[in-house]
Amino acid sequence: MRQRLPAHSYTQGILAGDRLVLSRAITLVESRRPDDQAVAQEVLEAVLPHTGRSIRVGITGVPGVGKSTFIEGFGQYLANLGHRLAVLTIDPTSQRSGGSLLGDKTRMETLSMNASAYIRPSPAGDSLGGVAHRTRETILLCEAAGFTIVLVETVGVGQSETVVHGMVDFFLLLMLAGAGDELQGMKRGIMELADALCITKADGDNRSAANRAQVEYRNALHLFPPTGTGWAPPVLTCSAVNQEGLTTIWQTIQEHQQLTTENGHWRRRRQEQQRTWFRSLLRQRLEGQFYAQPGMQQQIDLMEEEVMSGKRLPTPAVDTLLAM
């Protein structure tokens, strides 16, 4: 996998829809080596005119809610409709094991064999909330390779929902029936980000519980402030195992896209996302440069000691460091 191609080979391969080249390009983009990054940027710039035309859907929910099973079912549903879709899963376990390329792929066996689907598990790495640090770029590469729907799966822990919300057009929150106190605390914040809620596993004995949860969440959403986009997030139910509710979810996503395209919010959301991406990169770079200055760490340690012992106030200590 260490073997690298010249930039134009990646570009041509991606634009021709070559999955092997796409995979290698994603690996390149994820690499932290400066020489890889230089080639990666060249490739990204070259494919940029061919990006942006997919529907980007984020899928989140607590561990075990059924994200992978849902994507397996929903992905096949979309493929059967004739769509080409890319699935980007962020594998939090690889944070510990240091990068597994199997990850969730093992749990999407049928979909991974579908010629219309491309599945890419990425290691969560050390970035905020465990979102792969190059997911945005990976979306662009998949779009350039001709995928018209991009599904991004993220585990509903920490900050990852917010980060993924910042890179998709539609944010789907999967929820379990009977997890009563989920309306409290942090979950409420995530619910406010969602463009739709879907109660999973609405089958067998769990069906009536799912219907009750649907009513409860509907009532709860009514108390939320309006989204300001003209869109009222619906609460749906589905069973990935029985392939039920998938049509409604796809219709919902399309209605949302139509409405927000017409009223301008779709474009505005993407523009805001571009700006957020730009600003966070700028901040990261500045921070990186600052800490990388020779002798900086010793100076910081010194200032910290002086601040802790009360010899110096934090403000002049910071001023001193910034003047270095």
Contact status: 107 vs ligand GTP (CB under 6 A)? yes
Q: What is the DSSP string of 72-98?
A: HHHHHHHHHTT--EEEEEEETTHHHHT
Check binding of 66 to ligand GTP (CB under 6 A).
yes
Q: Which one-letter DSSP state was computed for residue 146? A: T
Q: Closer to ligand GTP at the Cβ: 54 or 68?
A: 68
Task: Pick between residue 44 and residue 65 the one whose CB is nearest to ligand GTP.
Answer: 65
Contact 216, 181 (CB under 8 A): no
Taking CB under 5 A as the criterion, the residue among 67, 105, 120, 165 binding Mg ion is: 67
Length of the chain: 324
Q: What one-character DSSP code corresponds to residue 18?
A: -
Burial 32-45 (b: 16+ CB within 10 A, else e): eeeebeebbeebbe
If the CB atoms of residues 209 and 241 are measured against ligand GTP, the closer one turns out to be: 241
* 200 makes contact with ligand GTP (CB under 6 A): yes
Residue of 69, 95, 127, 148 interacting with ligand GTP (CB under 6 A): 69
Q: Does 105 bind ligand GTP (CB under 6 A)?
A: no
Q: Answer yes or no whether residue 64 interacts with ligand GTP by CB under 6 A.
A: yes
Please tell me whether residue 239 binds ligand GTP under the rule CB under 6 A.
Answer: yes
The one-letter amino acid at 171: F
- Among 66-74, 156-164, 201-209, 216-224, the segment contacting Mg ion (CB under 5 A): 66-74
Using CA atoms, how far residue 300 sits from 282, 307, 317, 323, in Å, is 22, 10, 9, 12
Among 11, 68, 76, 239, which residue interacts with Mg ion (rule: CB under 5 A)?
68
Nearer to ligand GTP, 124 or 155 (CB): 155
84 lies in the site for Mg ion, by CB under 5 A: no
Site string for ligand GTP, 22-61 (x = CB under 6 A): ---------------------------------------x
Q: Which does 160 bind (CB under 5 to 8 A by kind): ligand GTP, Mg ion, none?
A: none
- Should residue 155 be labelled a site residue for ligand GTP when binding is judged by CB under 6 A? yes
130 binds ligand GTP (CB under 6 A): no
Q: Is the dihedral of CA 37, 45, 279, 28 positive or negative?
A: negative
CB 2 → ligand GTP: shortest distance, Å? Answer: 29
Question: Of 177-216, which residues contact Mg ion (CB under 5 A)?
Answer: none
CB 219 within 8 A of CB 212: no
Q: Name the residue among 71, 37, 46, 45 with its Cα closest to residue 57.
A: 71
Alpha helix (H) residue ranges in the chain: 7-15, 19-30, 34-47, 67-80, 94-97, 109-112, 135-144, 160-165, 185-193, 207-222, 246-262, 265-292, 296-308, 314-322
Binding footprint of ligand GTP on the chain (CB under 6 A):
61, 63-69, 107, 155, 200-201, 203, 239-241
Binding footprint of Mg ion on the chain (CB under 5 A):
67-68
